[in-house]
Amino acid sequence: MVKPKIAVIGLGGTIASLADHPLEILDYGANGSLDCDAVVALFPELNELADIIAVPFRAVPSFNIFYPEWKALLERMDAIETETPDLAGYVLLHGTGSMEETAFFLSQTVHTKFPVIMTGAQRPPSARSSDAGLNLANAIRAAANPASHGMGVMILMNDELHAARDATKVSTLRLDAFQSPDSGPLGFVDGDAVTFYRRPVRRCAPEHRFDITNLETLPRVDILYGYTGSDGTAARAFIGAGAIGIVSAGFPPGYTGDADAHVLAEAVREKKLIVVQASRGGAGRTFDSRRAKGQGFIPADNLNPQKARLLLALALTRTRDVAEIAEIFRCH
């Protein structure tokens, strides 16, 4: 039987790290990072699941991954498809800290029609209780499964498949660190089957992708975190640094404190700053309140602040029109 061909691309992270002791599950970052082919070689049974193409990319701590890595990754994926006409899907190995941001960015920009499954580990492969091997095996199974087509970029962790738009890391150390707070997982990868129970409905790539082919950098968008006693200093600093967009991670259900709101609303009027109102609450949508309308702020819907920042940056590559950007947030 011909096995599906899956490209496994390594971007570093816990899944590519080794500790000095099997019971060390926290302090292992100083030991360097394994290449993708070395990670795959740790689990030879993976070759029973697929014909694996191990693609070393860049071993980058997840907190240092941003636009240069994302653009290079998209270009590498395009090259893989040219080189591999019988490709069935992708698995991307990534640190969990910013996995949701990479997943969401890719979900808005990829060219590929094949499944893209991101996975990582909460505990390194050297740990006695590591989740690395099973996460990688399940990600390969999901990428090779025909039911994954048309589901967009997904995150596979702890046997669960989550939509890139919905998933967020909610725990620093637990194995069930990723959840989709408002909607739950799309499906599950169990020992006998890959099973889906719903489909994403918001616009995403490749049908509705943002074209970044000729884009050298993303427009500057910052996140203003709301807290009691904030006096507008951070808002003024972001504007002074050249931000053309700001996401306000406000108080649930989506309010910016008065001092910060005054600074932002003034910049909306005088500098054409684009402000998106998100919530720091972790779940639920922000809405188009009279207060937000009066300030000229756009609701983020239920995107968390870090994803709203990326969608706003991508939207600003197309337009500065407030109504058009608001429509993007309603549809994506």
C-beta neighbour count of 90 within 10 angstroms: 26
Is residue 184 helix, strand or coil?
Answer: coil
- Asked whether the beta carbons of 155 and 162 are under 8 A apart, the reply is yes
> Choosing from 14, 112, 168, 286, which is the catalytic residue?
14
Please tell me the number of Cα atoms within 13 Å of 155 on its side-chain side.
Answer: 32
- How deeply is 44 buried, as exposed, middle or buried, from its count of CB atoms within 10 A (0-12, 13-18, 19+)? exposed
Q: Is 14 a catalytic residue?
A: yes
Cis peptide before 305 (omega within 30 of 0): no
CA torsion through residues 16, 98, 311, 146, sign: positive
Backbone angles phi, psi at 262, to 5 degrees: -60, -45
How far CA 245 is from CA of 53, 236, 323, in Å, comes to 40, 12, 14
Own/partner contacts of 75-78, CB < 8 Å, gap of 24 or more, are 76/9, 77/7, 77/9, 77/110, 77/111, 77/112, 78/111, 78/112
Among 328, 324, 293, smallest CA distance to 311 is for 328
Is residue 16 helix, strand or coil?
Answer: helix
Own/partner contacts of 266-272, CB < 8 Å, gap of 24 or more, are 267/235, 267/239, 268/295, 268/296, 268/297, 269/296, 271/239, 272/244, 272/320
- Asked whether the beta carbons of 155 and 118 are under 8 A apart, the reply is yes
Catalytic residue list: 14
